[in-house]
Each structure stands twice: as structure tokens, then as C-alpha cells.
Amino acid sequence: MPFIDSHAHLAGDGFAADRTDVLARLRAAGGEGVVCIGESLAAAAGARALADTAPGFVWWTAGVHPHDAAGYDPTTDGPAVRAAMADGAVAVGECGLDYHYDHAPRPLQRRAFADQLAIARDTGRPVVVHTRDAEEDTRAMVEEAGVAGIRGVLHCYTGSHGLAEAALAAGWSVSFSGIVTFKKWDDLALLRLVPDDRLLVESDSPFLAPVPNRGKRNEPAWCAYTVHRLAEVRGVAPAVLGRQLVANTRSFFRLS
Ligand SMILES: [Zn+2]
Ligand SMILES: [Zn+2]
């Protein structure tokens, strides 16, 4: 079954021993590639190095996660993210707002997010957005971004229907992770709310392994379980949905 993992963190130490095997298992599962997320400038460098080993199969992004927003310096980090876009990064991010953990003061989270949205606007790249318990501010910033012509994805989405609808109305996409396979996940209407052409799937590796591998280190190949669950809930054949997800991911990130 074809799919592309639109969001994985493969640059970290957790994959140091078996990155090549992880990519091989992704291919064996039908995966047509993976977008390796640079959630910091250091992670982006690692993601870029991995992408260089597998052109046309691994792509990379660069940004600063909301958890690290307190350390975001628009005068140095901003130019570094811009430079990454010139060097072949396919998206800005992940960036966004996380008021659940509040690892950085909220005004600094908004400042770092706004700066990265401006980079997406200026470079014409899409933006990968993390949002948790920050619905109102995310909605306002996504709506403003949509008006400015910025395209984005709400990744690992588990929020309200209202925020999803606002993002879709702004022209954005929504990505679901292995969370939707968990027994306690019951918002099936959310999984049906996203139109066919705005739907992405992701592993968010190494986190959030889908059932039946819940609790283990996650890896991109296991997106297949999430695709099966989405297909079941949406009432389509997994292979048909998978083909659509490949097309959506290629189009969203303009993958080559
Ligand atoms: Zn995230
Ligand atoms: Zn992530």
C-alpha cells in the first residue's frame, strides 16, 4: 500500500543505530518516502544529511519548535531558517504554539511562530505547524497566514473541529498520526471532516507508535497502520487512500 510519511524525526540519537534499516523497512511497507522534520537548526542539519543519503525518498525541513521558542532569535535563527529554504528544505517548521506544556512563555511562542510564518510567506514554502491547547491563537494566526497566501499543515492533529475547519478554509491541510488508532480515540467525525485532497498522514516518529505497536519506538513504516485506520473510518480502500495521500504529500511539499 503506497503512502508517504509526511512528518518524522529521524535525525535524533534514537535512530543512530539503524537509520538505513528504518528506511529499508519503509520501502518494504510500500512507503514512497518520508519528510524528515528539523524541529531545531541542529535537527535540520541532521535531517538534511539524511536526505542527502536518499534523494527523492527523504526530504527535510527546518524550523524551531514552540518548546524552544524562548531561545528563538529572529536576527540569527530567522536567517538560518531562510538559508535552509534556499538549500533545499521543503518546508518551514515544525513551528507553532504549545500551551499544554508551556515550555516557553506564550508571547515568545507567538513571536517565533509569526517570524517563521513570515519566512514561509517570503520563500513560498509551506509551513508545518504544531498546535496544542492553543486553539484561539492558532486560529487567528492561521487565518491571517491564509490571507497572506501561506500554505500550511496542522500536524498530528487532535484538536477541535472548529480549528480544523478554519485551517481548511484558509487552504491548509490536516495530518493525522498513530493517535487515531488508539482505542480511546473516538472523534471519528474529525477523520471524515478533512476533504480527500487536504489529508496527510504521518508517523511523528519516534513518538506515538500506532496500535499494535503502541509504546514502542515509532518508525515511518508503521504509518501503514494509520492509513488502514483512516481508510476504514472514511470508507475507502486503503490502497486508494494511500495513492491519494502520496499525491497530496507530493503536491503539498512540491516534492521532486
Ligand atoms: Zn509536533
Ligand atoms: Zn514533530
- pLDDT per residue as tens, the chain (256 positions): 999 999 999 999 999 999 999 999 999 999 999 999 999 999 999 999 999 999 999 999 999 999 999 999 999 999 999 999 999 999 999 999 999 999 999 999 999 999 999 999 999 999 999 999 999 999 999 999 999 999 999 999 999 999 999 999 999 999 999 999 999 999 999 999 999 999 999 999 999 999 999 999 999 999 999 999 999 999 999 999 999 999 999 999 999 7
Evaluate whether 136 touches 144 at the Cβ level (below 8 Å).
no
Produce one character per residue of 153-164: b if its CB has 16 or more CB atoms within 10 Å, e if not.
Answer: bbbbbebeeebb
C-alpha distances (whole Å) from 212 to each of 65, 72, 225, 227 are 29, 38, 8, 13
- Of the listed ligands, the closest to the CA of 202 is 2
Q: What confidence score (pLDDT) does residue 139 get?
A: 98
Cα–Cα dist 187/158, whole Å: 9
For residue 11, the CA-to-ligand 2 centroid distance in Å is: 12
Neighbours of 126 (CB within 10 A): 21
Neighbours of ion ligand 2 (CB under 5 A): 94
List the CATH code of the domain at 3-253: 3.20.20.140
For residue 175, the CA-to-ligand 2 centroid distance in Å is: 11
- From 67, 6, 19, 60, select the one nearest 37 (Cα to Cα): 60
Task: Provide the residue ranges of all domains of the chain, joining segments of one domain with +.
Answer: 3-253
For residue 135, the CA-to-ligand 1 centroid distance in Å is: 15
**Cell numbers of 114, please?**
509569526
For residue 209, the CA-to-ligand 2 centroid distance in Å is: 13
Q: What confidence score (pLDDT) does residue 181 get?
A: 98
Cα–Cα dist 254/90, whole Å: 7
For residue 24, the CA-to-ligand 2 centroid distance in Å is: 21
- Of the listed ligands, the closest to the CA of 61 is 2
